[in-house]
Structure 1
Amino acid sequence: MSSDFAAVAPGTVQLIDMIFPGDANHHGTLFGGVALAHMDKVAFISATRHGRAPFVTAASDKIDFRAPVRIGEMVEATGRVVRVGKSSLDVEVELVAEALVTGQRRICASGRFAMVAVKAAETVLPLPPLDLTASAPNDDFLRMIEIVFPPQTNHYGTLYGGDALKMMGKAAFIAATRHARAVMVMVMVMVMVMVASDKIEFKSAIREGELVELAARPVGTGRTSVQIAVDLWAEGLVTGERRLAGSARFTMVAVDREGRPTAFG
């Protein structure tokens, strides 16, 4: 995978996560508060990436919950900067649920968040204007964003290798499942499981508070398996400095309900 990987279009950010029982209520659907946390986080990252300054949430406007997100589904939060003022900006956020095997998608929530830049030594005002010419790259990468928080770091203040592998494994799982359903005939329910990881390289430490961007794509397909290459990029939210922090290759196998390998091609 090329080390000159480009970021998603400025002002647009995606957070992708899986919904587990701890995120859900007694109906088996995602808590509204957890959904709002996802939306606020993607608004914060979108704002910080645009303004390259520390931001806080000032207000959220007209949050509409349209459909539930169920346990076992993927949730994709997309944030896009739509208005920029001198020291504040607005981010529109859309939350989409996706059934990984069928690929069925539905909009579950949407809203607008007002973000204000905090006055600090690194804050430059006025904020940069919107770049209306920016567009997302046209390629087959799955892109995922994370932020490194204190519980994920060691006593040096850098990301644990195990947490980095967890992020990369999740990206590989989602990329493999999306790829497999695109080429398989749906004659039985199939899921993807990891059977091997190969050639894991950590090139740079990732510090607390930095943004982590994962870029995953299929690089080889067999009868029941697919190989996924994943690059791990670190980015300083305020400085914008990016570096390739790690890379790995995962072999994912399609299995049926009984856990037996099954062809998807």
Structure 2
Amino acid sequence: MVDMVFPEQANHHGTLFGGAALSMMDKLAFLVATRATRRPMVTACSGQIDFRSPVAQGRLVELAGEVVRRGTRSVDVEVRVIAEDLATGERHDSLGGRFTLVAVGGERARPNAVELASPGPEGIGPVSSMVEMVFPGHTNHFGTLFGGQALAWLGKAAFVAAARHARMPVVMAASERIDFHAPVLEGEIVDLAARVLRVGNSSMSVEVIMHAEELLTGQRRLCTRGRFTMVALGYDGRPVPVPQPAEPTC
């Protein structure tokens, strides 16, 4: 899971607020535990939280989690947080911790078949992935994900993919096309995959594909696909050249 440290998540020192960091880690632990058990899970406790180094505002944070213990009704999930400087690519192991989650409610749901999207165009470089949970505050009066919130998540994923390619500040210059294929329901998660498709002189075309996943069944469906033009800026605020894709070698 990937996220960005924005000003509202930073303390007066300009670094990631400890409570915001714990919230990110707990969300990932919940997703890992629910995907592993396909049962409703709640956090019972957290421990061994180790704040190794501060994470500055503007850094990207990449969270990784794995189940390290399975009980009859509970699982322990280890979570690590890696901070990345988007300008240099430098990465630091910043936080770690263990969360115990307990299953509540009835029996495990039976997984359904997984619906996958058709593959998108071949891109340049690695895919940047993000996961978000759809809470009541993200939905409209129909109980489905508000379109503006979906666009915000798509834009953030496009920003991460473009900034990782350029290793410099980027801004959105245009939204080329957005297709909403299916609604996303409250309580589902959205899985976003972003990849740079083309590189110009100072601009990049980024495609973002968003799937919805029903956590208790594992069923996935394509919900939204968007394409964005992102432009790299120098520290004077003007467009600057971005690295071109490497030529294939024979």
Do the two structures share a fold, i.e. TM-score over 0.5?
yes
1:195 alignment partner, one of 170, 173, 179: 173
Q: How does 1:198-237 map to 2 (within 5 A)?
A: 198-237=176-215
Q: Which residue of 2 aligns with 1:247?
A: 225
Deviation by residue 1:111-169 (Cα, 9 ceiling, x = unmatched): 11111111325568xxxxxxxxxxxxxx8221110001111100000001111010000
Residue number in structure 2 paired with 1:135: none
SS of the residue 2:126 aligns to: coil
Report the number of matched residues. Answer: 229
Secondary structure (helix, strand or coil) at the match of 1:110 reads strand
Once the 2 structures are TM-superposed, how far is the Cα of residue 258 of structure 1 from its aligned partner?
A: 2.0
CA RMSD of aligned residues (A): 1.4
Task: Give the secondary structure class of the aligned counterpart of 1:90.
Answer: strand
Per the TM alignment, residue 222 of structure 1 is displaced from its structure 2 partner at its CA by: 1.1
Query: Quick check: 1:50 aligned with 2:36?
Result: yes
Mean Cα displacement is larger for which, 208-217 or 94-103? Answer: 94-103
Q: Given that residues 83 and 91 in structure 2 are in contact (C-alpha distance below 8 angstroms), is that contact kept between their aligned partners in structure 1?
A: yes
Match of 1:256 among 202, 210, 234: 234
Determine the structure 2 residue equivalent to 1:110. Answer: 96
Q: CA deviation at 1:239?
A: 1.4
Separation of aligned partners in 1, 2:109 and 2:226:
36
Aligned residue for 1:186?
A: none
**Structure 2, unpaired ranges of 5+:** 111-124, 244-250
TM-aligned CA deviation for residue 86 of structure 1 = 2.2
Q: After superposition, what is the alpha-carbon deviation per residue over 1:219-265, rounded to whole angstroms, capped at 9, x for unaligned?
A: 11111111111101000011111000010111111111122111022
State, as a whole percentage, how many aligned pairs show the same letter. Answer: 53
Give the counterpart letter for 1:45 in structure 2: L
Tell me the amino acid that sits aligned with residue 232 of structure 1: M
Amino acid at match of 1:231: I
- Alignment partners' CA distance in 2, 1:123 and 1:247: 29
Amino acid in structure 2 at the alignment position of 1:194:
M
Contact 2:109 2:217 in 1 (8 A): no
Aligned to 1:155: 141
Question: 1:54, 1:123 within 8 Å by CA — same for their partners in 2?
Answer: no
Aligned with 1:141: secondary structure? strand
Match of 1:78 among 55, 64, 68: 64
CA distance in 2, matches of 1:143, 1:24: 23
Structure 1's unaligned 5+ residue stretches are 1-13, 125-138, 182-189
The runs of 4+ residues in structure 1 deviating greater than 4 Å are 121-124
The one-letter amino acid of 1:241's match is Q
| Counterparts in 2 of 1:248 and 1:123: CA distance versus 1, 3 Å | closer
CA contact (8 A) 1:233 1:245 kept: yes
Question: Partners in 2 of 1:118 and 1:156 — Cα distance?
Answer: 27
Residue from 4, 17, 22 that aligns with 2:8 = 22
1:166-181 correspondence to structure 2 within 5 Å: 166-181=152-167
Distance in 2, matches of 1:251 and 1:174, equals: 13
> Distance in 2 between the 1:25 and 1:253 partners?
29
Q: Retained in 2: the 8 A contact 1:117–1:123?
A: no
- Contact preservation (8 Å) 1:54, 1:117: yes
8 Å CA contact 2:37, 2:108 repeated in 1: no
